[in-house]
Amino acid sequence: MKKILILGASSDIGQVLTQNYLNKNYNVIAHCNKNPIKFKKIKHKNLKVFNFDLKKIVSFEKFVNKNKIFNDIDTFISLTGYLKILSYEKTSVKEIYDHINVNYLSNYLITKRVINFMKKKGYGRIVYASSIGTKFGGSNNSFIYSLSKFMNEFYPRPYRNLTKNNILINTLQIGLTDTKLNKIDKNKNMKNRIKLIPLGRMANIDEVVYYIDFLASNKNTLIANETINISGGE
């Protein structure tokens, strides 16, 4: 039975993805940054939920290295997405580190931990969620976020040699998605933002889950070490 770890599972995409894997009767370890209340409605014997503030990266490193729940992971999916809206000029060094700790270093620590088990099995799938913002550098208010997510697009490169072990690692540049955060009626600028998308609409959650699920499954037998754009043409 597959054992899947989802970092940032409390996001809208993460919740759908978690339920998708539980429906397939997989073992799922779901991470929440602070409050696991979103998973209280999901009752399943194969679900384990842990909460950890990933900004506390030194403590997280100790937690990852010592905790047995990270043993024998078949699939690691990272959906971490810390974003604090601040102009570049007003962003403190602490905020820069917070973004990098959550959006990049947490993935680094997990990847180091699970790779050895994957090598022994001769199988592994890893998918990192990046952002369309990395393609354009983000706005003045989200530059640090885009920078921290861009780091994930370099991840597959140092692990290219693991492809021969059937460990396939990829990053998705995810475009604007119809999550609660991006509901049109809550954001006056959203209609103008959508006009910039050649397809003329946001992605829906099920579409994004489909591409994550494919890359993270044994159906993917060929795609490795790639950054793939799923943004409707941006």
**Domain limits at 141?**
3-230
Global pTM value: 0.90
CATH of the domain at 186: 3.40.50.720
**Phi then psi dihedrals of residue 224, to 5 deg:** -150, 150
| Predicted pLDDT at 183 | 65
Per-residue pLDDT tens over the stretch 212-225: 999 999 999 999 99
Q: Is the pLDDT of residue 98 over 60?
A: yes
DSSP code per residue over 91-118: --HHHHHHHHIIIIIHHHHHHHHHHHHH
> What are the phi and psi torsion angles at 103 (to 5°)?
-85, -15
**Total domains present in the chain:** 1
User: What is the spatial order of strands in the sheet that 124-131 belongs to?
Assistant: 47-51, 27-32, 3-7, 75-78, 124-131, 167-174, 226-230
Quick: pLDDT tens for 131-190: 877 777 666 567 788 888 888 888 777 888 999 999 999 999 988 777 776 665 556 677
